[in-house]
Structure 1
Amino acid sequence: MLNVLVLTDFSNAAYHAARYTCHLSRSIPVKRIILFHAYQSVAPVVLSTVANNASKEELDREYTDMLLDMANQLEPESHEDTAIDLLTEDVQLDEVLNEICQREHIDLVVMGIGSDTQASERSSNAILVPEKASCPVLVVPESAEIQNIKHVVFATDLRELESPAYNQITKWLDLFQSKLDVLNVDEEEKEFGAESFFEIKELHNWLDKYKPEYHYSNSKEEGNAIVNFARNHKASLILSLPRVRSFFSNLFHHSITKEITYHSDIPLLFLHEA
């Protein structure tokens, strides 16, 4: 069963991501949902009543009370066997995230991205957290419908992937048991010719058991291509294994960020190759 760390700054977007996670616990096996607030993190508190000069003990009590109130609201939406735990620490999120994930045996980190005045900052966090995290990260737009994951789009650039990467992909596809579309994005303009033969064959060897539909795009704007494809095919989740920052920077380029933040209802699950 999964342990899920939900990052919260007590914003509407964070609360929506937590609700989404609770609903998810009804369709996949989630043992624990940990609501985590880092009050000196890259995602600052927006709804705190604590004075700036409050002591660490006062801050801990205040934020724990806020987390408890949040947990009480969320409990009816989660599976009855899923525990909701609370965690608040005086830390910089990006410096301790992996330590917390290791300590708490986290399988998935969840964060929200919103459409309010702090949207641009959360967009930066949506790049930073998946890059820093050693485990999968689910980014949930505030406009995302709270629903079961029924249709996954797996976006890939057809580079050669090792077995650990495919093990990650199949683990989550096995959990979701959803319809699968595979979108191959030709970012290097290989045009899916002989040079891509091995990668395509390997992709089929690993994924054909899910009976996916395969699609190809040679768009130079891969972020736009992925998001637009997922939207047009009414996907409920985009899954990807971005290797380098350029993918994140492109996917969360200003125009794409605006689409995701203000218009898209598609959560994004970022996996890692090892």
Structure 2
Amino acid sequence: MLTLLILTDFTDAAFHAAKYACSLSRNLPVKRIILFHAYQAMAPVLVTTEPGISSEELDREYTDMLLELANRLEGEAHADTAIDLQVENARMQDVLNELCVKENIDLVVMGIGAKRQQTEGSSNAVSIPEKVSCPVLVVPETAVIQPVKHTVFATDLRELNDASYNELHKWFSMLGGKLDVLNIDQQEKEFGPESYVEIKELHFRLEQFNPEYHYNNGAEEGKSIIRFAHQRGASLIVSLPRHRSFWGDLFHQSISREITYRSDIPLLFVHDL
């Protein structure tokens, strides 16, 4: 059974991500959803401006706002899924990992707004997936809320350990549906003989999901992934961001902005453990 942590700053994009997360509970075994706001991280849309307000009073105000959000989400989640509220007087980045451990979080869900995608300004949607210890689902404001029936897994054929494959197996098993594996040629090997061992290992590890394999050695990897996902009619893109090679660089170079700021398909970042 899964526990989801939904990050909210009370924007339209955050509400859309919350609706998307609630919809997942209708197809995945989600037992609990936590609506979470850290009010030192980002100011909400509405908050009191009275001078000298105490932390306790702010907690109450934000809790009321979370309660209103929970009421708006009524009927969106499975009837057996509990929705809890949590507020922290802290910077989100300072408490998120601790909270994930304390609450046994399986998945962090967050939104990214259409305007933010257009301006490509700094965003938690880029930084948090790299830093948080559990998987992160980034939901664009323009993403269609629908069951996940077709997933694209983007990889650069690097060697993964058993823990990483176990995490991928967990999500691919729960999501079900069709799986496409898109191999990205980051080192310009062009998938020749030197890639044989990695390709063989990948096929062996994912055999039970009967995926289709595809190869891309073109430029602009981030855009290529999104374009491929659209061509295949995918409803989810999966990647592994925490690695010093392709996906590690992804979060420090322009590719990160391409895939996060350009995509209208939800992005599931499953960490390379």
Deviation at 1:111, TM superposition (A): 0.3
Unpaired stretches in structure 2, ≥5 consecutive residues: none
TM-score, L = length of structure 1: 0.93
The one-letter amino acid of 2:6's match is: V
| Cα pair distance change 1:138/1:32, threshold 3 Å | same
SS of structure 2 residue aligned to 1:76: coil
* Deviates further, 45-54 or 180-189: 45-54
Deviation at 1:210, TM superposition (A): 1.2
CA distance in structure 2 between the partners assigned to 1:118 and 1:49 by the alignment: 25
Deviation at 1:121, TM superposition (A): 7.4
- CA deviation vs aligned residue, 1:8-52 (integer Å, no higher than 9, x gap): 0000000000000000000000011000000011xx133123116
RMSD of Structure 2 on Structure 1 (CA)? 1.7
CA distance in structure 2 between the partners assigned to 1:205 and 1:118 by the alignment: 37
The one-letter amino acid of 1:83's match is: A
Q: Which residue of 1 aligns with 2:173?
A: 174
The aligned runs of 1:1-274 (5 Å cut-off) are: 1-41=1-41, 44-51=42-49, 53=51, 54-116=53-115, 124-242=123-241, 243-244=243-244, 245-248=248-251, 249-253=253-257, 256-260=259-263, 264=264, 266-274=265-273
| Cα pair distance change 1:122/1:25, threshold 3 Å | farther
Unpaired stretches in structure 1, ≥5 consecutive residues: none
CA distance in structure 2 between the partners assigned to 1:206 and 1:103 by the alignment: 31
Deviation at 1:259, TM superposition (A): 2.2
CA distance in structure 2 between the partners assigned to 1:91 and 1:68 by the alignment: 20
Deviation at 1:160, TM superposition (A): 1.0
Deviation at 1:220, TM superposition (A): 2.9
- CA deviation vs aligned residue, 1:56-98 (integer Å, no higher than 9, x gap): 1121011000000111111211001100000010111111110
The one-letter amino acid of 1:246's match is: D
The one-letter amino acid of 1:27's match is: N
TM-score, L = length of structure 2: 0.93
SS of structure 1 residue aligned to 2:36: strand
CA distance in structure 2 between the partners assigned to 1:201 and 1:118 by the alignment: 37
Deviation at 1:122, TM superposition (A): 7.2
8 A contact 2:125–2:260 mirrored in 1: no
Could you list the structure 1 runs, at least 4 aligned residues long, displaced by more than 6 angstroms after superposition.
none
CA distance in structure 1 between the partners assigned to 2:61 and 2:232 by the alignment: 44
